[in-house]
Structure 1
Amino acid sequence: MSDPAGTLNIQLERTSRGLACRIASTRPVTAADRFAGRAPAATAALLPLLYSICAKAQAFACVASLEGASGRLPAPAVVARRQRMVSIETIREHLWRILLDWPRLLGETPDRATMAKILSLVKELFRLSDSDGDLFRPGASSAALDRRGDARVLADLDDLLARQVFGAPPNRWLDEVRDGGSFDRWLGRVDTCAARLLRGLLDADEATLGQADVAGLPELRDADLIALIDAPEGADFLARPTWDGVARETSPFTRRAGCGLIRDLIDRHGRGLLSRLAAQLLEVALLLAEVRRERADEMPTPFLPPAPMMAGTGIGRADAARGLLVHLARVEREQVTKYRILAPTEWNFHPQGILAHSLAALPDAADDVLRRQAELLIMATDPCVAFDLTLSEPRA
């Protein structure tokens, strides 16, 4: 089977009215149709292998859509354990950016050694959370968690992040860094790569770069999602989704914009680069605090899929690292007849979406400066696929 990821082609053009941004995608948004004709269990097993970026989030949305289409209601403990694994995966994805991509944007060497240790720890957390490897199977039951081993691995992860990212244990960082003032003090006393990058944005007067007035995606009802995805023009919606006729944003920034620290940074620096990168950093610490809770009844109330809106049709949602991920499944006689995926990339990298507006808002500059600032904004929006960035002069 072909690679389902595709690429993004991002072009910045200088015009007499400023910068213009064009985004084109080769992502095959209806590629999930390949699951038609398969049994639900086979679909749940195969899909995360093919959609390997954020595979746990893909598995979460997949199994929820299949269980909904089949009329199954999973136990709350099962949903909580699945959500825990998605949270661990999101931590890993954010740290990949923070430890590998953020140093490159500073002209430094990516911290591959620390990232390798994190990958090993995350793999172990996955194993401890799903020792039998069937947690994302439709109708799965929740296995017992090795709490002693889990606590040990989380302690090792805390130690790594205290040294290499936060300059303090993540829980203590959450307690101490609550607003713009404490954030500034943290930047002044810590010398991790994350702190250097964010401090450098302030020092270079780049904290406000890329401000754009694109509203966040509201809570969508299952019935509305089914109607949009399942319509005759559903493939067009999957490729360039809009809500109420306009592009929307779904991202760590929209998830955390209501937190005290991010609200304060928005008040100080707007909805630009610094606030967006800080939201990714904050989410790492917040999700670690959630994951650290040992019992399912201490986890946030898990989302339980409602009864199907129509017989044989299910919607699954996951708060993936880059935003809301939605799967739609139709099942008849224990066979998938239709499968569709709506990924956050299509919202955030829409031709009129948040990245396009953010890049068009950049001030014109020399090519090297403009490229660096554009790459910062692309990393802050965080594509899950490869991208090409080109700069061009006005057409003759």
Structure 2
Amino acid sequence: MAVNFTVFEDFKPVDGVRVGIAKAHVRYPNRDDMVIFELAAGTNVAGVFTTNAFCAAPVQISKQHLAEAKPAYLLINTGNANAGTGKAGYANAVASCDMLAKATGVEAAQILPFSTGVIGEPLNMPAFERGIPEALANLSADNWARAARGIMTTDTLPKGFSTQFDVNGKTVTITGISKGAGMIMPNMATMLGYIATDAGVADSVLQAWCKELADCSFNRITIDGDTSTNDSCMLMATGRSGVQIDDASSAEAQQVFAELKNAFQVLAQAIIRDGEGATKFVTIEVGGAAAQKEALDVAYTVAHSPLVKTAMYASDANWGRILAAVGRSGVQNFDLDKVQIYLDDVQIVEDGGRCASYTEAAGAAIFALSEFRVRIELGRGDAREELWTCDLSHDYVSINADYRS
């Protein structure tokens, strides 16, 4: 069951983007499992992709095509990751692009393919022959909600967000969807994210923004510490609103960036809230670090600890597990006497030892909440970072043990 999660329904169309969906039977019958984004001419597209060395064939091709041409279509399938499939998998991904290019009259290099699902199995190519014509036939600016369901794998709920705001008297729209529930850990995670705006954003600005936005959202979430083979986050700017961003330092740029940051973080946090088997949504904040990397090393060590995560699931205020994780995070020349640790406003560690005012009841009350913050102050500098994670439950093991059955 997703944690404090409300399915988003008020999607705003983005001028210059149409979405089509098909029941292609990539893996399972009678479910939406193929999505096509059609982008108007002049749309700029930026992307951030997995760092896994075994990155899937569609990731390789999307990166290549993005460098060669201005994208006209995004082609997404769920149910099969087309990863670990060697030369045959690469050829199949190329063939899927060729199919869509032939059907639409664009160059194959203008197609960006994306796949998610089971790793190591051949891609079901007849599904593309069925799905591409069906998805093209129902292209619509209003298909975002159905698309959010069409990219799901082990997700229990679709993930989306949309907003409109005024920039110098012109209305700008941002709409996006994401998917992911397991194998989540930067850089990046088993996730797909597609965010579009009708603001115009110069190519160089858009790519810099996409990386920066991913780093404060999709690259700040972790469920199980596993980086997948297929992760992709795409940012599309059609320019149809009449607002044009060429200078990232302008007031208009800062306003659009702030709205995009909120959209990215909502979509990223939705993945944690719907984490496989999750019952708790937890923010890990590390401050007083000597550098950003140090803060993140500590935060991820705590967030990835099975002992910490299972204690969270059990509502067991075993704060010593947090202390132990901080201690093994790799911080050099650690002055333990400066470390302070809090659960929300309850201080559990003071100057490196148990806080005198701490009580087991107070800690247990925080751990019993469905949403709380672990704040760790290192007393070493000014760097501060936060990330979002969840607990580790029996259901997580069951879901992943049964995933391919």
Shorter-chain TM range is: under 0.3
| Larger relative contact order (CA 8 Å, sep ≥ 6) | 1
- Structure holding more strand per residue: 2
TM-score (norm 1): 0.26
TM-score (norm 2): 0.26
